[in-house]
Chains A and B, each alone.
Chain A
Amino acid sequence: MLKQSDVMENLVSKIYNINDTICALATPIGVSALSTIRLSGSKSFSIGDAVFKPIKKETKLSDALTHTIHYGVLHSKNTEIVDEVLLSVFRNPHSYTGEDMIEISCHGSVYIQQQIIQLLVDQGARLAKHGEFTLRAFLNKKMDLSQAEAVADLIASDSISSHKLAIQQMRGGFSSKINELRKQLLDFSSLIELELDFSEEDVQFANRDKLSELLDNIFKEINSLISSFSVGNVLKNGIPVAIIGKPNVGKSTLLNAILNEEKAIVSDIPGTTRDVIEDTFAIKGITFRFIDTAGLRSHTTDKIESLGIVKTYEKIEQAVFILYVFDVSLSSFKEINDDVSDLLEKINDKNKHLILIANKTDQLIETPKGFKNLVELETIFVSAKRKENINLIAEFLVKTMESQTNFNNTIVSNARHYEALKNTLRSVEIIQSGIDNDISSDLFTTDIRTALHYLGEITGNITSDDILNNIFSSFCIGK
């Protein structure tokens, strides 16, 4: 759970910075012909001008009249065109929020939506929290009480835990890495605070060289995370779907059936897929990344193969969907049931979806034993070889994603983490330049606090009490 913070929260409590310019998707996530992204706040027009290239070259959003529409393209910093759009300009107080506002009508691809939001964030906008546009509308007296109450409920439903869950879903080991770095920085911060608050006493001093080393580490880690993590990538890379099962149940054939191409090596020799093979496939606008894995044999002497199995478990960790494939013509229900309970125990995450795929229906001579039980487990019966019922898998995936409110949050929180990572990077640079310029500890700790705050935004906030507790438990102080 996120820890409720006090001091740090105060320090950079971003939620209520009503001076910030905020942006978010205003239409539902997913694919449609068009979607709308909303940008609201005092910097809306300057941000708009920075990313928008109008067809009429002389148009400047900053000078545009309220309630006018402008046609042009959005481009990234290196002038790469992201999308053709229509921008609607609303000047305060004549807008939904009562502030200066732009609505961007863009094409309805999830990828494009995220690219645009990232552009806006890069220019200094911040992602809106759930209900924040409405909150501003309310604060600017743009709506009445009953509407406002609805917003209150909406905000309340935006639970913090789903936010955290989202990272785990998408990135697996990501948050633990950040946590580790944060812990190291927190320890360091404690050392320096110790120096400051207890300097009269016989305390050790924080080693600045070690801090530089740590900062360098953080810098590298965050940088690589940012490049692997940038918002578009997650969506471009797709929602991970792991295909697992015993050797030779037809996982690779299933992957090929889904992708419609010969990707994996398919043979009758069990254990052919030694590495993990991945490919992405868009179904109804949502991109899924299918991952074929080595078969899960409990006893294998082949080193390469057992390595493959380790990788398989890693992929299960990262996946949102796990397709458990079994040979319906050969397996007994008990066997499957045992395997599934084993798996569920290993996965132990309610937010991963385990789907049973009964393959090789083409080989069935009679109704399989335990058919009724399998149906109860919502098993999908397919024949990968004949490409029968493959569409059922696709439909199931899409339906689940669409019905999942977390999906929305996941994407939002991805963008939010991108923002936090960038801020962390910036503050780490400031700390380092402080060390280089030998600035005094009081200033220096201010910068460390800022960095800790941003890292905390990703992992759960920290408090000044954390630092004090850390000090009290680790050092002998007090006269």
Chain B
Amino acid sequence: MLLEYDIIVVGAGHAGCEAAAAAANLGSKVLLISMSMSNFAQMSCNPAMGGIAKGQIVREIDALGGYSGIVTDNTMIQFKILNKSKGPAMWSPRAQSDRFLFSAKWRELLESIENLDFRQDNVVSLLIKNKKIEGVKTELGLEIKAKSVILTNGTFLNGIIHIGEKNFKSGRIGEMHSEGLTQNLNKLGIESKRMKTGTPVRIDGRSIDYSKMIEQKGDEEPKKFSFLRTPKLQNQRSCYITYTNSEVHEILKTGFNKSPMFEGRIRGVGPRYCPSIEDKINRFADKENHQLFIEPEGWNTCEIYLNGFSSSLPEEIQYKALLKIPGLEKVKIFRPGYAIEYDYFPPEQLSVALESKVIENLYMAGQINGTTGYEEAACQGLMAGINAHLKLNKKPPFVLKRSEAYIGVLIDDLITKGTNEPYRMFTSRAEYRILLRQDNADSRLTPKANEIGLVTSERKNLLNEKQNNISELFKFIEKFKVEPEQINALLIEKETSPIDQKVTLKQLLSRPQIFINDLINNIDVFRDFVKSNIIIEKEDSLEEVEILTKYEGYISKEQDLAEKIGRLEELNINENLDYYKLTSLSSEAREKLNKIKPRTIGQASRISGVSPSDISVLIVYLGR
């Protein structure tokens, strides 16, 4: 058996799976080590992928050749585009997944990759020589050599679960935690801190009275995540909405004196945007009810995830409170909600390639970098896998700019600003929201992934055809002019001013009231053109042309800005620069710059405490 690899990935969650797949697909010999081979890509919290900003990330992962989108498409039980009314930049795909199929599909895909080996064991320390990685040591006493190691340990490092006054060591409910590695890393000079997160109760669907709840169906015409030809969703399962009430709140309050959060037993910082139910009641006392979502965990299971009811109160309190919720009067609990505390490594300690600045060829991705969410973890895994492979092949790191991808925003935020609470992506974190849309993730990123060799020919061809369609469509609508009598009836009907001379289709399409389908339906020549020329993924191409036309002004404005700022991203800073010698810098800037060691002037400008005049000073010194 081979005990020497190019890359070892430690942990098989969303980050680990993407990392292993990417590195192996690029050609590295990869070993994926997991504490449990039957728990690949677990959905430890809600059985859903995507959502606002997160859905965009999944599309980006897919465009880059990652698997999260493909796995989701194959295993989802409901699909929705969120924020449909907020404009294309906000359209966010979200899917309910079959949690069990999701894990199985991941394993199936991973097993189909040639260079990828698996092993069930627990990594307890790293083999290091001269601050460079040499491999890992496992609990079973194995020493496995590798040129690079990617850590994706999730919440398992010194994980402690809290339920009321009970607490015990665990990485996820029912699973062991992992000890030793944090201590080992601390000794090597890598700092660690604690974070906290939580998950709600899982209940028995057979005990729910759905008639007292509001049904939430999926989209009538469900789309999907992957740009590849993954299967379209035929049937869907519904979710349901119910609400808490003051009775529920009163019962929950009786458990506050046993809450590990309020009593101070949990010290790790939890996410403000994902509070436990007790936190919501406590902080927003005047809110009379809170929304709860009933989310099925799969096609063939009665297990239900109660979204919105995350709690670490004692189980009997959780149970008593549940009984007062409409529809849950006869509820049966499968598993109580719990809070978990775990170690993370402040991500300012990483380079833009997600490589440790202390230990060469050691990479970190996912929750151990202080993030939360499957999508956030998966994209880091993908980037770490790509970068570990590239470095071993003496190629420059694969970096996405803030103007190119949410993934770029995420990594830049992590390594530049760090994070004190579990980091989740929001669209408002991106300054180029209009550019970073889910519809154009393929045009933005597939060509880049193609350059490093992570794109299959199928993906490349699909993108080429889509882009061809788009350019043909543009040629047509820019040239073809419509007579007033052809269109004025429609314009009046749509309450927009009629025309008195010929105008191009594009001019019409740029009106907010007019959509591309209106033109197709009303202009025969255009309809015939679309029918005969646009064959592949017709809907996507039409949608893109519509967006690009309507948003032209805003898109070009953001592109200009991105380009201007981009110049700063191209001014590289020598990583060995001794900031303490630059006496013109403010002392705070010197300290921060020395800690973060920004790669470019652009990155330096985003460090808190570094002022514009510090940046001017840096630019001047760059001439050296």
Q: Which residues of A contact B (CB under 8 A)?
A: 2, 4, 6-13, 15-19, 129-132, 135, 138-139, 145, 148-149, 151-153, 155-156, 158-160, 193, 195-202, 437-443, 445-446, 449, 464, 467-468, 472, 476-479
Report chain B residues within 8 Å CB of A439: 87, 512
> Is B273 within 8 A of A472, CB to CB?
yes
**Residue ID in chain A nearest B289 by CB atoms:** A202
Quote the shortest CB–CB distance from A465 to chain B (angstroms): 8
**Residue ID in chain A nearest B592 by CB atoms:** A4
Interface centre among A129, A138, A139, A440 (most CB of B within 10 A): A440
Bound complex: CA A37 to CA B619 (Å): 25
Bound complex: CA A442 to CA B431 (Å): 12
> Is A197 within 8 A of B427, CB to CB?
yes
> Is A441 within 8 A of B87, CB to CB?
yes
Do A145 and B53 form a contact, CB below 8 Å, given A7-B429, A155-B584, A446-B558? no
Interface centre among B290, B426, B615, B621 (most CB of A within 10 A): B426
> Is B551 within 8 A of A478, CB to CB?
no
Do A478 and B280 form a contact, CB below 8 Å, given A13-B605, A443-B434? yes
Bound complex: CA A397 to CA B557 (Å): 48
Bound complex: CA A2 to CA B610 (Å): 11
Given contacts A10-B431, A198-B52, A439-B87, 20 further A-B contacts (CB under 8 A): A2-B611, A6-B417, A7-B431, A15-B615, A16-B564, A16-B567, A17-B564, A155-B620, A196-B52, A196-B428, A200-B51, A200-B82, A440-B88, A441-B90, A442-B433, A443-B89, A464-B429, A468-B426, A478-B271, A479-B291
Bound complex: CA A138 to CA B618 (Å): 13
Bound complex: CA A442 to CA B624 (Å): 43
Bound complex: CA A301 to CA B162 (Å): 69
**Residue ID in chain B nearest A449 by CB atoms:** B431
Q: Chain B 80-117, CB within 8 Å of chain A: the 1/0 string?
A: 00110111111000100000000000000000000000
Say if the beta carbon of B176 comes within 8 Å of chain A. no
Say if the beta carbon of B275 comes within 8 Å of chain A. yes
> Is B620 within 8 A of A196, CB to CB?
no
Bound complex: CA A425 to CA B275 (Å): 39
Interface centre among B85, B283, B584, B616 (most CB of A within 10 A): B616
Say if the beta carbon of B307 comes within 8 Å of chain A. yes
Report the interface size class on chain B: 35 or more
> Is A6 within 8 A of B608, CB to CB?
yes
Q: Chain B 568-611, CB within 8 Å of chain A: the 1/0 string?
A: 10000000000000001110000000000000001001111111
Quote the shortest CB–CB distance from A473 to chain B (angstroms): 8
Say if the beta carbon of B180 comes within 8 Å of chain A. no
Quote the shortest CB–CB distance from B214 to chain A (angstroms): 12
Report chain A residues within 8 Å CB of B416: 6
Bound complex: CA A11 to CA B551 (Å): 18
Quote the shortest CB–CB distance from B290 to chain A (angstroms): 7
Say if the beta carbon of B231 comes within 8 Å of chain A. no
Do A202 and B272 form a contact, CB below 8 Å, given A4-B611, A131-B616, A156-B585? no
> Is B426 within 8 A of A197, CB to CB?
yes
> Is B90 within 8 A of A196, CB to CB?
yes
Say if the beta carbon of B613 comes within 8 Å of chain A. yes
Bound complex: CA A282 to CA B505 (Å): 64
Say if the beta carbon of B484 comes within 8 Å of chain A. no
Bound complex: CA A17 to CA B561 (Å): 10
Bound complex: CA A127 to CA B423 (Å): 39
Quote the shortest CB–CB distance from A249 to chain B (angstroms): 45
Do A152 and B52 form a contact, CB below 8 Å, given A13-B605, A160-B613? no
> Is B585 within 8 A of A464, CB to CB?
no
Report chain A residues within 8 Å CB of B568: 13, 16
Quote the shortest CB–CB distance from B168 to chain A (angstroms): 26
Do A479 and B584 form a contact, CB below 8 Å, given A4-B610, A152-B620? no
> Is A197 within 8 A of B584, CB to CB?
no
> Is B615 within 8 A of A16, CB to CB?
yes
> Is B87 within 8 A of A442, CB to CB?
yes
Q: List 19 A-B contacts (CB under 8 A).
A: A6-B417, A10-B402, A10-B605, A12-B561, A16-B568, A152-B620, A153-B584, A201-B291, A439-B87, A440-B85, A442-B88, A446-B433, A468-B428, A468-B429, A476-B275, A476-B284, A478-B272, A479-B307, A479-B308
Do A10 and B567 form a contact, CB below 8 Å, given A4-B611, A156-B613, A193-B428? no
Say if the beta carbon of B480 comes within 8 Å of chain A. no
Bound complex: CA A175 to CA B333 (Å): 57
Say if the beta carbon of B617 comes within 8 Å of chain A. yes
> Is B608 within 8 A of A4, CB to CB?
yes
Report chain B residues within 8 Å CB of A477: 273
**Residue ID in chain A nearest B608 by CB atoms:** A4
> Is A160 within 8 A of B611, CB to CB?
yes
Do A6 and B82 form a contact, CB below 8 Å, given A17-B564, A198-B52? no
Report chain B residues within 8 Å CB of A159: 613
Bound complex: CA A468 to CA B431 (Å): 14
Do A440 and B428 form a contact, CB below 8 Å, given A155-B584, A476-B284? no
Report chain B residues within 8 Å CB of A8: 431
Report chain B residues within 8 Å CB of A199: 52, 82-83, 86
Interface centre among B273, B308, B612 (most CB of A within 10 A): B612
> Is B434 within 8 A of A446, CB to CB?
yes
Quote the shortest CB–CB distance from B272 to chain A (angstroms): 4
Bound complex: CA A199 to CA B94 (Å): 13
Report chain A residues within 8 Å CB of B290: 202, 476
Say if the beta carbon of B287 comes within 8 Å of chain A. yes
**Residue ID in chain B nearest A474 by CB atoms:** B284
Say if the beta carbon of B554 comes within 8 Å of chain A. yes
Quote the shortest CB–CB distance from A288 to chain B (angstroms): 31
> Is B86 within 8 A of A440, CB to CB?
yes
Do A197 and B293 form a contact, CB below 8 Å, given A16-B567, A160-B611? no
Report chain B residues within 8 Å CB of A467: 428
Quote the shortest CB–CB distance from A144 to chain B (angstroms): 9
> Is A155 within 8 A of B53, CB to CB?
no
Quote the shortest CB–CB distance from A70 to chain B (angstroms): 32
> Is B86 within 8 A of A479, CB to CB?
no
Quote the shortest CB–CB distance from B65 to chain A (angstroms): 28
Q: Give 7 nearest A-B pairs by CB, closest first.
A: A440-B87, A442-B87, A442-B89, A156-B584, A476-B284, A202-B291, A472-B272
> Is B565 within 8 A of A10, CB to CB?
yes
Say if the beta carbon of B623 comes within 8 Å of chain A. yes
**Residue ID in chain B nearest A17 by CB atoms:** B564
> Is B427 within 8 A of A11, CB to CB?
no
> Is A196 within 8 A of B567, CB to CB?
no
> Is A479 within 8 A of B616, CB to CB?
no
Report chain A residues within 8 Å CB of B83: 196, 199
Report chain B residues within 8 Å CB of A138: 620, 623
> Is A149 within 8 A of B620, CB to CB?
yes
Interface centre among B53, B557, B610, B613 (most CB of A within 10 A): B613
Report chain A residues within 8 Å CB of B86: 195-196, 199, 440-442
Bound complex: CA A196 to CA B427 (Å): 8
Quote the shortest CB–CB distance from A413 to chain B (angstroms): 14
**Residue ID in chain B nearest A201 by CB atoms:** B291
Report chain A residues within 8 Å CB of B359: none
> Is B431 within 8 A of A11, CB to CB?
yes
Do A11 and B434 form a contact, CB below 8 Å, given A135-B616, A151-B620? no
Bound complex: CA A149 to CA B83 (Å): 52
Bound complex: CA A139 to CA B561 (Å): 21
Within 8 Å by CB of B554, from A15, A158, A443, lies A443
Report chain A residues within 8 Å CB of B434: 442-443, 446
> Is A197 within 8 A of B620, CB to CB?
no
**Residue ID in chain A nearest B421 by CB atoms:** A472
> Is B283 within 8 A of A15, CB to CB?
no
Bound complex: CA A18 to CA B310 (Å): 51
**Residue ID in chain A nearest B307 by CB atoms:** A479
Do A156 and B617 form a contact, CB below 8 Å, given A10-B606, A199-B52, A446-B554? yes
Say if the beta carbon of B274 comes within 8 Å of chain A. yes
Report chain A residues within 8 Å CB of B561: 11-12
**Residue ID in chain B nearest A189 by CB atoms:** B428
Do A464 and B431 form a contact, CB below 8 Å, given A19-B564, A446-B558? yes
Bound complex: CA A274 to CA B272 (Å): 56
